[in-house]
Amino acid sequence: MSGKHIKKVLVLNKSLEQVKPLSEYLANAGMTCDVLSSSSHEEATQLLESQPVDQVIIWQSDSGSISVEQAVKLCQAKEADVPCLAIIPEYSPDQIVNLMKFGIRDVVVDGQYEHLELVMGREADRVSNNETSLGQTASETASSDSVEEPEVIEEPDSNKSATPSVLTEVSKCLTSTAENRENKVFFVVEVMDWVALSYKYGKDNEVVIQDALQREFMRHLNSGAVCEVVEDKYFHILDNSPDISAEDIATKITQGLDQLFVDTADRSFQVGISMAVVPLKYSIASTDDVMARVEELLGNATELGFNKFDVYCPQADLERQAREGDAHALVQHALDNNGFRLLFQPVASLSGETEELYDVLLRVMDPGGKEVPAGRFIGAIDKTELAEKIDKWVILQTIKKLFDPKNREKKIHLFLHLSAATIQDKKFLPWLFLVIKKTKVQPEKLAFQFSEENMVRYKERAHQLIKGFKKIGCQTSLCQFGTTLNPMRIAQSVSTEYVKLSGKLTDELQKDQPEKEKDFQDMISQLQGQGKKTIVPNIESPNVMTKVWRTGSDFVQGYFLQKPKPDMDYDFTSG
């Protein structure tokens, strides 16, 4: 870079004292420039308006007062094309892409002054060449009245991402049988800092670098591997031997690269890569999904350092999504890893009945071992196949619990929730009949709950199910009652044995409004007049318990009686 001359460079979000190391480095590297600095938007605007600036560098930091967007707008406001560069605290592919989208010409990691020197020199060359070209054009136009139109040669757009044809082979693999793709593996290798390498060692040495890397890769891949190089990425598909894992191959490649030196005419140097490994035996929907995983894996590998790799693992992918709060991933992870827990909360009689009633509640353990209540995820999956799987799992585990020696002789009745997906499943009732027949569980011990909302939404199917449950001998309940416009009409239209009110109605009782208590009592009375037993949930305090007692409800449920527990051990004779 010796001899490069840049008149003025404006550094944003840093003081002159803070940019002194950079100024000294550039001077020692033979790059002559006058470095200005500004830490405020107003000051930067004045500097740009008062004097010409050749380049702008914005230092990214949490405390920076000038945003990237502001910096780019300041540069674009100048009549001349002032390139805007960015310095970020650490390497981040996503951040680099976002900054380039804003209009940043290039991005450099803090402390990598040699890279910054190359970028600044490149931009200086680009601007000088443009000025020379403009001068020549003006001179030629002035000296000739007739100028032939030059041949237009379209340069390739280096910003466009080329699509490798090898993805056609990936697509074929995805649509083939599981047996055919069992040993297929997709490797994608990305050269780190390719732009800087290309600029530093010249265009002539790009092919030398690519060939050296490709030879090293092929030393560890079998001869039948499909290979392609596109820009700074290498794409390989191979039919892997069952005797060696994809991880072993990736390890050998990266270890080989640790020892590899690329030899050019006048120097020898090392090149760093990041590698993504995707075994195609896993079920992946499309090539777009494959490439999305590749980009994520490359980012992970880059964070690990030079010559590192990351391998796609559906279980790890699922676990990550579950940790991030994705409801579908959380449930699937729990299904795959026995991560469900059943809890039982007593439903106690206020009239002295001796039968033991429990509400069956579900908890999911997330990948970190934390308990997640069903209310946090069930809404997102209520209409999906996952909800059906959960319902069946809960039913089977509940029946198993009934056959515990300590529960076998008790008069236990259990309330089980049904999802929207199960209500719509026409195969559910035959499945339940076979389960009851095979296990010989007493069907009256099971009471299936339909939410008022689902009863309205799937009215016809819900009525068919209720009739089917009665034929089998199971009981039914309408739950979360009292939230629609005309709940009493809904209650009257279905022949359930129980109605459990919405917890929101119970919460209203805490407001000490006599009219609320009167409405509550009227609702209880009307339901009992229809021959239904009423359950009031969310009994959390003695005050609410007293008010509910006065309404004449048949049953109560809540933490005031007992919190949900893994065992059915409530003393129903305690009064």
DSSP secondary structure code for residue 109 in this structure: E
Determine contact, residues 263/215, Cβ cutoff 8 Å: no
Determine contact, residues 35/63, Cβ cutoff 8 Å: no
pLDDT digits (tens, 9 = 90+) for 344-380: 999 999 988 878 999 999 888 877 777 777 777 777 7
The predicted pLDDT at position 359 comes to 97
- pLDDT above 50 for 45: yes
- pLDDT above 80 for 544: yes
Higher pLDDT, 548 or 70: 548
Confidence of residue 143 (pLDDT cuts 50, 70, 90): very low
Angstrom distance (rounded) from CA 134 to CA 118 = 24
Q: Which two tokens stand for residue 213?
A: 């890397």
Domains of the chain: 5-134 (3.40.50.2300), 166-312 (3.30.70.270), 327-556 (3.20.20.450)
**What residues contact residue 536 under an 8 Å CB cut-off, 6+ apart?**
500, 501, 506, 524, 548, 551, 553, 555, 556, 557
Host H or E run for residue 357: strand 356-365
The predicted pLDDT at position 149 comes to 42
Angstrom distance (rounded) from CA 322 to CA 194 = 35
Q: Which two tokens stand for residue 498?
A: 């129980």
- pLDDT above 50 for 302: yes
Higher pLDDT, 328 or 476: 476
Separation in Å, CA 264 to CA 180, 201, 253, 268: 42, 9, 22, 6
The predicted pLDDT at position 47 comes to 80
pLDDT digits (tens, 9 = 90+) for 173-183: 888 887 887 88
The predicted pLDDT at position 154 comes to 37
Q: For residue 372, list its beta bridge partners.
A: 364
- Mean pLDDT for the stretch of residues 461-471: 95
